[in-house]
Structure 1
Amino acid sequence: MTTHKQNSRFKTLSAWVLQFLLALCLTYGGIMKLITPIDQLALMWPWVAQVPNLVVWGTALLDLLGAIGIILPSLLNIKPYFSRWAAYGILGLMLSAIVFHLVRGETEVLGFNIFMIVLTLILLRLWKAD
């Protein structure tokens, strides 16, 4: 019985750590895209200088919505399944980013998107185990 309880606590803690890490990464990206001038942002992410500002702001909004969605419903325990929906949204966003970068020949930047996908899939697996 104790082992099951410890295992459950470990899964819960692991899920929260992953949720926080995903939210932190998405919040950072979203805020950077919103507050940093495009010419400075292009030094870090060259693609932002080559797409309309609306695309940059749109991805910033999606990043921030993903960050909010992965944390708040679970934290407030109000429709916590919305966090799962946010996780699927994050998967979609990261897969779209991979396609975007592949089309542009930017394979060197795919690591972050793959990292985010792996974290999200692990989180979904932890939730499924509950």
Structure 2
Amino acid sequence: MILIVRSVSKWYPELFLVFTVLLYWIFSGTLINPIAIVLITALNAQLVIKNKTFGVVLASIFILLSIYMSFQLISDVIQLEQFLPEGLMMLVSGISLFIFSGYFGFALLQKNIIYRPERLSIEND
């Protein structure tokens, strides 16, 4: 059981980001959402191919998107005429979602940017 958890833990950033894109797709209200389709396809490709450069680009995109959406949410809250409990709920849930997606974007970036050199075998001559 612990081995299964350890093997899946390598994919936590990608799986959480797939989950957040699915949440975005569900709450957008459209069946055909090209942005969500492209992001889901890119994350699935990263899970299968495991390309380091593509992972860094994908992580950077998610970090920038989470920062942008956090600022957008804060500006929407500032423009409210009345601050109702629904606004507080929107603020807390939105900021927490964007903080977690930014965190997992950084985790994906760290996972793909770490350089692990190949081990050279030293032969006895």
Gaps of 5+ in 2: 1-5, 78-86, 117-125
Q: Quick check: 1:68 aligned with 2:41?
A: yes
RMSD over aligned CA atoms reads 2.8
Q: CA 1:124–1:26 in structure 2 vs 1: closer, same or farther (change >3 Å)?
A: same
Letter in 1 for 2:19: L
TM-score by length of 2: 0.61
TM-score by length of 1: 0.59
Equivalent position of 2:72 in the other structure: 100
Is the CA contact 2:11–2:47 (under 8 Å) kept in the aligned structure 1?
no
Letter in 2 for 1:29: Y
Gaps of 5+ in 1: 1-9, 37-56
Cα deviations by residue, 1:20-47 (Å, 9 ceiling, x for unpaired): 22112212322441447xxxxxxxxxxx
- Greater share of residues in helix: 1
Could you tell me the percent identity over the aligned residues? 11
Letter in 1 for 2:25: G
Q: CA 1:27–1:86 in structure 2 vs 1: closer, same or farther (change >3 Å)?
A: same
Pairing partner for 1:125 from 110, 116, 122: 110
Supply the distance in 2 between the matched residues of 1:113 and 1:96 (Cα, whole angstroms). Answer: 9
Q: CA 1:80–1:93 in structure 2 vs 1: closer, same or farther (change >3 Å)?
A: same
Work out which of the two has the higher radius of gyration on C-alpha atoms and give 1 or 2: 2
Deviation of 1:13 (Å): 4.7
Q: CA 1:83–1:89 in structure 2 vs 1: closer, same or farther (change >3 Å)?
A: same
Equivalent position of 1:16 in the other structure: 11
Query: Which structure has more RCO (C-alpha within 8 Å, separation ≥ 6)?
Result: 2
Deviation of 1:118 (Å): 0.6
